[in-house]
Structure 1
């Protein structure tokens, strides 16, 4: 704000800086689109490690390759990935309905559904208990996975209308695995296990010392809850002490072979009641108290299962071409990435397994269009049926219809030990190559070709096709980036051409690092010059643009991103009356021309040796 002088003296005024820093955008965030074991459908989810992917998408799928590609991405240097789950067909979510005995006749009060479709949801189990501060009105809900480990716990839930801790509002806002619908607000879900009647007082010692019959399946046991003479028991004075005593006696009973029904039994006191839960999570392993003495203790009655199982989960089929391409209007398939800003690479590893080349090319064409729009780079896997050099040479012609400088084709597949089977298995190389690009960008810069002896394929034991130099020389000129294995060095990426990089075409975007550097510059300048919009379009603005864009390019020059020994040889920024005429100013246009001299990879190294026989050096 300009100072308005009103008195004689010295005024201090702070001037706004004309420097607006332009920061280079990320270059190695890779998006993977395809089938996963679980996860939200057609929604882009960011993961920062393979453990994160396992937690969110269920880990490796024996019927799919996307999980293995993500694993290879992180193993080879990737740090951030975006995953979009896509299925084909009608998958369904596992669910269970919980009833309430507080309603006459008994009716379902809760419907619990797995948050995401798939068979994974059928492994979920839930339990209910009333061990709360207000056991007559509230309850606890626990969610277990298939191994019996607790996934989530929710305490003090209610079902009444307007209850701030209503199950649907509390669970649906925080659970990562389930969703709840309240079907009837007049009751609570029945607790699992066996629940006693309400004790007015703790049963006397003579009542507790009577024989109690307990039954699991067809096998019965008889025991005494209180046996001072045999076990040295102390008569319980509280319901909590009674619960501990009963739990100890149940755990001492012999189990069925291979079971922990009694060994893992739990007895909980809530209010003036007991809840007895079997140590098994199978609904077939029910513990049932029988006989007159059990009735006197309030343990006789209907028995609920130890857990409630979610059922009916089903996976969709492997995604076809239409599923991967998705819909722009519905933001499905690859179009789910439109809502994500920082995505630089795109991998579609399932395409390699397609039987139809036409379907594969249709998806690549749609993905290439998206990459051009969002300034991304597409990693294309060679078809799995390219099992030798001849198949690759013949099949390469099919890719002429999707020739693009925003994509690169890699051949052959990599052989990796499948952790699910312990055996070698061939996988599409795109995930591995994406990880190498991320590693190269971090260590050297996006202007360095992600190829050469530094581009080691970590985790790769072999390649499905081994080739010689001469065979490599048949594919490299037609823009097929080969993966090679060399003695001592091991498997590496040995090509850095875009799909537009055939020798016959002479494209300026022949090389992968040149195109990726240009994409980084375009996106960085696009974001870093937003402040220009609506500024007065005059020489002062043009000078600020030259200053800020020039500073950004000079930083890259000092890092070795461009050719040339001086800034003048490496780049230029031009915005003046020559680029922006008065007519442009009248139309609200400012034209900024940026040029740069990209580095080209030393693709061919020629060493000339001359014999100097009979010559004398002076």
Structure 2
């Protein structure tokens, strides 16, 4: 309505009766600062060091990619003679230092929601112009740059550095110096909280030196440490490593692998052949045949010669049988040689075997077989001559002394060459199996069943991660199901097998209460029948009665930020009773809702909180002259029942 009425008519004026409302800000929006495979929205690298809001792991993969593949996982297959395979895999000997992707998996698995990603370095191939892929985390400088960038964004309420534990040769001063910077930012902005990992862990002693290093490394005062909480120890998770199937090579030993089998067959054939080609066996056969031929030749007449022809034929049959056995064993040796050649990728060794095999094959084909043919022909002639009483038996039998009798000596020269060449292949491969030296990608093609078993074993390898990302997920889960005022403790962790250190009550005594500096460290423990549970709810200001608990600090953060944003509308309004009533009513309505939700303790709203504003109450006349409106808010925030004591006593019988 116009401020002055000049024209006659009807005017409408809307009168404000209700106070404005306070909208509760988000309480669990983590900012993950670390290294990613890429940082690309539309152009390669256009998200470099740009805080980017995502709501799911799928979005993370779209903008920032996945994990860097492991190449140093050892895969060993031991196979017995019955082809039973035993597969053993080991943790990567040179783990990739980039764990941001795995941290995101753990965060979303534990209830995480919207969050911010600040990529401070890329290890993939989608890089901006002149950008070089990182291969290791050399210092904390890039992470500090990311911290500076997230300070420019208002929404994040939690700060994490998943990759910080992987900085090369990092010392406690550098590592916790990064968290000191984060706590300083929290103190300055007063709207966020830092989740702190320990640099490492040592389960061999009840007083892990990493705890003392944390307490010494976090060197800020109580006004800073109340904005952070530390969690211990690291976690063993069920997450699967991303692997390079072309970069992991299999070691395969034993079993029915081609080269050793070929060697065994070759040795057996060699032994038999040497038996056939010794002078003893062939000498006896040759002597028998030559004696029979001589007897025929020296017979007094044709009739006598013909009577002796049967002895010559029998001798020839024996030699033919012997040579056929030689061929059979020689062919076994040839086959063994070819199997061995197929089992090696070494061109020289393959060529040596092939040459020796071909030489023996030539002897068998060109000489032994033709020799047998010659002996068969002579035998036929002898049989024919036996039917001709006028035949010159001596002339016929003379042709039976053929060159075939010299052939085994030729074979002898070839046997050693083949066996030696096969031995060289087996020696070069040791007792290697058929999959030895093959990459996983090749194993998938050659033996898919074994490949699947290897993948299963690799996926069963536990992956160790710092706990901060899982804890951030718990914060988000508790905030959404209960409220930010509920302590994020006595909550189970998903995807976690066990803590890397078994924390006992005695160990937690020293973690939870620090009598020297008051810096509490929250334990993550495993309980029978309950699983892995966050078993601590303190900030680093463990001796501060006001800010001891994480839930109290974070609830104040939420209320302060929510009321601050809602109060912006009153800036430059009249600093008088009308404005004071409106702003007080606005805050009281908001806190009443929090009290009803269970965030504030008190039988009545008046017991749970108060809001004061007014002249001679929170302000002096001079304050008003200086444009200052002081609003005082007091809240009785609920605190967790950290220690429940059950007291029992005897009671006298009364009836």
TM class by shorter chain equals: 0.5 to 0.7
Look up the SS of the partner of 1:35 in the other structure: strand
What residue number does 1:415 align with? Answer: 236
Q: Does 1:377 align with 2:193?
A: yes
Which of 458, 480, 485 matches 2:521?
Answer: 480
Flag the 1:485–1:528 CA change in 2: closer, same or farther, 3 A. Answer: same
Which of 179, 194, 204 matches 1:364?
Answer: 179
Distance (Å, rounded) in 2 between the aligned partners of 1:352 and 1:406: 21
Distance (Å, rounded) in 1 between the aligned partners of 2:584 and 2:141: 46
Distance (Å, rounded) in 2 between the aligned partners of 1:385 and 1:35: 23
Which of 457, 463, 480 matches 2:493?
Answer: 457
Segments of structure 1 that go 5 or more residues without pairing to the other structure are 88-116, 123-177, 180-310, 327-332
Paired residues of 1:36 and 1:85 also in contact (CA < 8 A): yes
Paired residues of 1:564 and 1:570 also in contact (CA < 8 A): yes
Look up the SS of the partner of 2:579 in the other structure: helix
Distance (Å, rounded) in 1 between the aligned partners of 2:147 and 2:131: 28
**Shift in Å, 1:8:** 9.2
Q: Does 1:336 align with 2:157?
A: no
Distance (Å, rounded) in 1 between the aligned partners of 2:535 and 2:172: 25
Alignment of 1:285-364 (within 5 A): 314-315=133-134, 317-318=136-137, 320-326=139-145, 333-354=146-167, 355-364=170-179
Distance (Å, rounded) in 2 between the aligned partners of 1:31 and 1:572: 33
- TM-score, with normalisation over the residues of structure 2? 0.57
Which of 637, 642, 655 matches 1:598?
Answer: 637
Flag the 1:509–1:527 CA change in 2: closer, same or farther, 3 A. Answer: same
Paired residues of 1:45 and 1:82 also in contact (CA < 8 A): yes
Flag the 1:6–1:359 CA change in 2: closer, same or farther, 3 A. Answer: closer
Look up the SS of the partner of 1:401 in the other structure: coil
Flag the 1:396–1:615 CA change in 2: closer, same or farther, 3 A. Answer: farther
**Shift in Å, 1:314:** 3.0
Flag the 1:546–1:582 CA change in 2: closer, same or farther, 3 A. Answer: same
Distance (Å, rounded) in 1 between the aligned partners of 2:595 and 2:111: 25
Distance (Å, rounded) in 1 between the aligned partners of 2:637 and 2:619: 26
What residue number does 1:540 align with? Answer: 578
**Shift in Å, 1:372:** 1.8
**Shift in Å, 1:576:** 0.5
Distance (Å, rounded) in 2 between the aligned partners of 1:516 and 1:312: 39
Q: Does 1:587 align with 2:406?
A: no
More helix per residue: 2
Aligned length: 390
Flag the 1:351–1:585 CA change in 2: closer, same or farther, 3 A. Answer: same
Distance (Å, rounded) in 1 between the aligned partners of 2:26 and 2:7: 53
Look up the SS of the partner of 2:125 in the other structure: helix
**Shift in Å, 1:601:** 0.6
What residue number does 2:53 align with? Answer: 46
What residue number does 1:34 align with? Answer: 34
**Shift in Å, 1:435:** 0.2
**Shift in Å, 1:77:** 0.6
**Shift in Å, 1:367:** 0.9
Alignment of 1:62-77 (within 5 A): 62=69, 63=96, 64-77=98-111
What residue number does 1:222 align with? Answer: none
Work out which of the two has the higher radius of gyration on C-alpha atoms and give 1 or 2. 2
**Shift in Å, 1:24:** 0.7
Root-mean-square deviation (CA, aligned residues, Å) is 2.3
Distance (Å, rounded) in 2 between the aligned partners of 1:560 and 1:528: 22
Structure 1 residues 406-450: Cα deviation after superposition (integer angstroms, max 9, x where no partner) = 000000001112312421021000000000000000011000000
- TM-score, with normalisation over the residues of structure 1? 0.60
Look up the SS of the partner of 1:121 in the other structure: coil
Which of 575, 589, 594 matches 1:556?
Answer: 594
Paired residues of 1:3 and 1:13 also in contact (CA < 8 A): no
**Shift in Å, 1:384:** 1.4
Structure 1 residues 554-611: Cα deviation after superposition (integer angstroms, max 9, x where no partner) = 1111111111111111111100012122111111111111110111110001111223
Q: Which one has more relative contact order, counting CA pairs under 8 Å at least 6 apart?
A: 2
Look up the SS of the partner of 1:120 in the other structure: coil
Distance (Å, rounded) in 2 between the aligned partners of 1:363 and 1:436: 23
Look up the SS of the partner of 1:390 in the other structure: coil
Which of 61, 81, 85 matches 2:119?
Answer: 85
**Shift in Å, 1:491:** 0.2
Look up the SS of the partner of 1:435 in the other structure: helix
Alignment of 1:72-471 (within 5 A): 72-87=106-121, 118-121=123-126, 314-315=133-134, 317-318=136-137, 320-326=139-145, 333-354=146-167, 355-374=170-189, 375-388=191-204, 389-391=206-208, 392-402=210-220, 404-420=225-241, 421-422=458-459, 423-452=461-490, 455-471=491-507
Paired residues of 2:600 and 2:638 also in contact (CA < 8 A): yes
More strand per residue: 1
Structure 1 residues 436-473: Cα deviation after superposition (integer angstroms, max 9, x where no partner) = 00000001100000001xx1101101110012222222
Structure 1 residues 504-552: Cα deviation after superposition (integer angstroms, max 9, x where no partner) = x334101100000010011111101001111011111111111111111
Distance (Å, rounded) in 2 between the aligned partners of 1:118 and 1:412: 28
